[in-house]
Structure 1
Amino acid sequence: MTREVRARGFSLVELVVTIIIAGILAAIVIPQFNIGQFESGWFYEQVKAAVRYAQRQAVAQRRTTYVEVQASQLRLCYDAGCTTRLTQLTGQEYVLSAPDGVTLSPVGTFSFNGLGQSAGATIAVGGQSITVNAETGYVQ
């Protein structure tokens, strides 16, 4: 008694139907991603990293650093007037510009002393907030 062994796998028709269904789903789902939300979240993380960088530079150099918050921009400086700016590792000034539709508030300046302490601050970036602890300077 011999048994016929049937080949296992997908037929060409099954593969084509699967690819068509995947294409239809992709065409429906991809446009629903909101690029603005991704940019807002990414900018929030950049601002948080910049504020932490300002604190680390204050401690490393044992001097006061300032964080200047404007509605569409954040700058890190060594003086209250923001004429001398902190630089990134690339040598460029540390200035972040908000993407379209994202604002920073409240507008103003706060600082970190040489011990990394701050008077405390809260920065709203889009719908999220960054808090700087007054005693420790911890950025969260």
Structure 2
Amino acid sequence: MTTSKARRERGFTMVELIIVLVVVGILSAIAFNRFFSRTGFDAAGFAAQVKATLRFGQRLAIAQNRPIYVYLDATSVALCYAATCSSTNRVKDPGGGNSFNGTGQCSTDRSWACVAPPANVTLVLSPASAAHNHFYFDAAGKPQLNTGAEFSSLNLLVRAGDDQQPIRVQWETGYVY
């Protein structure tokens, strides 16, 4: 009896080891893709950049008591001092360099307050004609269309695969969230 008791306490059986290995294999196959996928991080990071750029534009409009124009498209979000955004009236990036990725509106000017999404991230305006792809913050920080009209709210959506990060600009206060 002592021999059979000692035999049972020595370790795991081969069946138990195989079951554990199969379970660990299944869990790692499922968790590996979620753990090492960059799409969620890229979407969240770009959404944070867009929010920071919009907030900077609003604060700059209030601080300098002048309108700051925001240009939006699928390839970038940019800030300018005038309705016609040229190289002479671009808002300088407060950090000294933008997220230039070689395409879109940001061009090659790295000092411009312009952010571009990573390769696997897209920026969608909702509705597509919202703000006619640009608007401005007036000296009070309130968003306006170029015609001077107010809009109810501007909805942006940052997409990367299945991950979506919504961004809104409220019309009355210019609050970006």
Same fold by TM-score greater than 0.5: yes
Deviation, 1:90, is 4.2
Q: Contact 1:64/1:114 (CA < 8 Å) preserved in 2?
A: yes
Sort the Cα spacing of 1:44 and 1:82 in 2 relative to 1 into closer, same or farther, 3 A.
same
Q: Deviations over 1:58-84 (max 9, x none)?
A: 000000001111111111111122212
Match of 2:64 among 54, 58, 61: 61
Deviation, 1:30, is 4.5
| Percent identity (aligned) | 34
Deviation, 1:129, is 1.9
Q: How does 1:15-34 map to 2 (within 5 A)?
A: 29-33=31-35, 34=37
- Structure 1 residue 45 and structure 2 residue 48: aligned? yes
Q: Please tell me the residue identity of whatever aligns with 1:89.
A: P
Q: Please tell me the residue identity of whatever aligns with 1:117.
A: K
Q: Please tell me the residue identity of whatever aligns with 2:75.
A: S
RMSD: 2.2
Q: Contact 1:69/1:105 (CA < 8 Å) preserved in 2?
A: no
Q: Distance in 2 between matches of 1:72 and 1:36?
A: 17
Q: Which residue does 2:137 correspond to in 1?
A: 112
Q: Helix, strand or coil for the counterpart of 1:101?
A: coil
Match of 1:129 among 134, 151, 166: 166
TM-score (norm 1): 0.74
- What is the count of residue pairs matched by the alignment? 118
Q: Please tell me the residue identity of whatever aligns with 2:134.
A: T
- Structure 1 residue 75 and structure 2 residue 78: aligned? yes
Q: Please tell me the residue identity of whatever aligns with 2:142.
A: Q
Q: Please tell me the residue identity of whatever aligns with 1:116.
A: G
Q: Please tell me the residue identity of whatever aligns with 1:68.
A: Y
Q: How does 1:82-93 map to 2 (within 5 A)?
A: 82-83=85-86, 84-91=89-96, 92-93=111-112
Q: Distance in 1 between matches of 2:33 and 2:158?
A: 25
Q: Distance in 1 between matches of 2:54 and 2:62?
A: 13
Q: Helix, strand or coil for the counterpart of 1:93?
A: coil
Q: Distance in 2 between matches of 1:59 and 1:136?
A: 12
Q: Which runs of 5+ in 2 are unaligned?
A: 1-20, 97-110, 126-131, 145-150
Q: Which runs of 5+ in 1 are unaligned?
A: 1-20
Q: Distance in 1 between matches of 2:80 and 2:63?
A: 15
Q: Contact 2:167/2:176 (CA < 8 Å) preserved in 1?
A: yes
Sort the Cα spacing of 1:90 and 1:46 in 2 relative to 1 into closer, same or farther, 3 A.
closer
